[in-house]
Amino acid sequence: MLTPLTGILLLSSSAVSADISPMEQCLGQDDLQRLACYDRLVEAQQKARLVAEAKIETTPSIKVTQVEEAAPIPVATILQSLWELGDNEKRGPFVVRTYQPNFLLPAHYTSSINRQPQSPTLGLADLQENYKPIEAKLQVSLRAKMLEDVLLPNADLWFAYTQTSMWQLWNSQDSAPFRSTDYQPEVIYVIPTAKYLGNLPLGWSMQMLQLGFVHQSNGQSEPMSRSWNRIYAAAAFERDQVGFRVKVNRRIPEQADDDDNPDLTSFLGTTELQLSWLPGSATASLTRKMSWNDFSNGSWQLDLTYPIDKSKADGLRVHLQLFSGYAETLLDYNHRQNSIGLGFMLFNF
């Protein structure tokens, strides 16, 4: 029979037992019982440890990947790498690299499609009534170094090729023809200048001087044939993330009977100014072609790009191009238009 005193004693006993550690509970027993008690305690501890480890292994881990914005890179660093201006950047001859931007603009709209090209010496071409103002613009441009250390220290000789096409991609009525294609082989002599002109006023530096010979033609027969040969001198300057390039062209004269476009430079211009900005992942480039004696002709072109994947700055990029003026192509050299194109910069290496 339980009395109130007995209940108090039992509660007190339970409280004391709760304060005794498992190891102490094995004391006070004979040897066999104490050994068996210890074995049970060790086995229980091992099971508890295995259960805890299993929980850790099966707990799903959440991995958070943060894509960081590309840090701005000085234009000088980019120019030195692209044109291999220093000893550390040299990659040897016959390594193919990109030159001008390589892009596909499947949505290219012009305010005035040139349905009937003409020139002073060849007259009017046939009227193409079905040409549409929306087409695609495609450019592929590659280069390779032919010789290293030519005449001057670290001066290299390059060969480049650029092909630009206007493609009536959306013109199913005429089976999507290529309206115009310009072919441009080029020889470029590149002279590094940062060693001598690396500390110009206001923080600018001159990175390189280029001397070149260019043949450009559209490969068509008369009266659509257009071509010219020229030599040029260009200088590239930079300040932090801003680049500036000035290029002066000199047309090589042709026989009057062979000149398909004698007034080409009066529309296209002889001077090219290009301002570039590389603030990080994005790029921006503004190009002005003109003649100093006639600012009404020539052209303006703005190119903006942004990477599809910010962790791969050299990968596929969205490309927006705005153009206003003359000579977006050779065939359109004397045809004024405004155009906008949207697509992708394909590759850059």
Same domain for 150 and 25: no
CB burial of residue 328 (10 Å; 0-12, 13-18, 19+): buried
Asked if residue 101 is part of any domain, the answer here is yes
Number of domains, the chain: 2
Asked if residue 143 is part of any domain, the answer here is yes
Backbone angles phi and psi of 176, in degrees to 5: 50, 60
pLDDT digits (tens, 9 = 90+) for 100-114: 999 999 999 999 999
- Is pLDDT at 315 greater than 50 in this prediction? yes
Q: Which residue has the tokens 């108090």?
A: 8
Same domain for 139 and 33: no
Asked if residue 29 is part of any domain, the answer here is yes
215 flagged as catalytic = yes
Nearest C-alpha neighbor of 125 from the set 224, 207, 41: 224
Same domain for 177 and 273: yes
Task: Tell me the CA distances in angstroms from 126 to 75, 115, 129, 258, one per residue in order.
Answer: 46, 8, 9, 21
CA distance 124 to 109: 24
Q: In the numeric block, which tokens belong to residue 58?
A: 């099966």
CB burial of residue 31 (10 Å; 0-12, 13-18, 19+): exposed
CATH code assigned at 193: 2.40.230.10
Same domain for 312 and 194: yes
What average pLDDT is seen over the chain? 87
Tell me the CB-side half-sphere exposure of residue 115, using CA atoms within 13 A: 10
CA distance 274 to 289: 9
Amino acid in the structure at residue 288: R
Nearest C-alpha neighbor of 229 from the set 251, 211, 212: 251
Same domain for 167 and 35: no
Same domain for 231 and 194: yes
Task: Name the DSSP letter for residue 90.
Answer: -
CA distance 248 to 228: 15
217 flagged as catalytic = yes
Quote the pLDDT of residue 5.
39
Helix (H) or strand (E) holding 75: helix 75-82
Residues 6+ apart with CB under 8 A from 227: 215, 216, 217, 218, 260, 261, 330
Same domain for 262 and 150: yes
Of residues 12, 13, 61, 217, which has the active-site annotation?
Answer: 217
pLDDT digits (tens, 9 = 90+) for 188-206: 999 999 999 989 999 999 9
Same domain for 290 and 150: yes
Instruction: Region of 280 please: left (phi>0), alpha (psi -120 to 50) or beta.
Output: left
- Is pLDDT at 155 greater than 60 in this prediction? yes
User: DSSP 3-state assignment of 125?
Assistant: coil
Out of 41-55, 87-101, 152-166, 243-257, least confident range: 41-55
Which domain, by its residues, includes 82? 75-347
Same domain for 242 and 120: yes
Count of beta carbons in the 10 Å neighbourhood of residue 286 = 15
CB burial of residue 100 (10 Å; 0-12, 13-18, 19+): middle
Quote the pLDDT of residue 241.
92
Of residues 14, 165, 215, 276, which has the active-site annotation?
Answer: 215
Asked if residue 4 is part of any domain, the answer here is no
CA distance 134 to 221: 25
**Rounded percentage of the chain residues whose pLDDT exceeds 90:** 68
Q: Which residue has the tokens 């009266």?
A: 223
Same domain for 103 and 135: yes
Tell me the CB-side half-sphere exposure of residue 64, using CA atoms within 13 A: 2
CA distance 278 to 282: 6
- Is pLDDT at 179 greater than 80 in this prediction? yes
Nearest C-alpha neighbor of 323 from the set 336, 305, 339: 339
pLDDT digits (tens, 9 = 90+) for 265-309: 999 999 999 999 998 889 999 999 999 988 889 999 999 999 999
Task: Tell me the CA distances in angstroms from 81 to 91, 126, 273, 319, one per residue in order.
Answer: 10, 47, 22, 23
Asked if residue 338 is part of any domain, the answer here is yes
Asked if residue 67 is part of any domain, the answer here is no
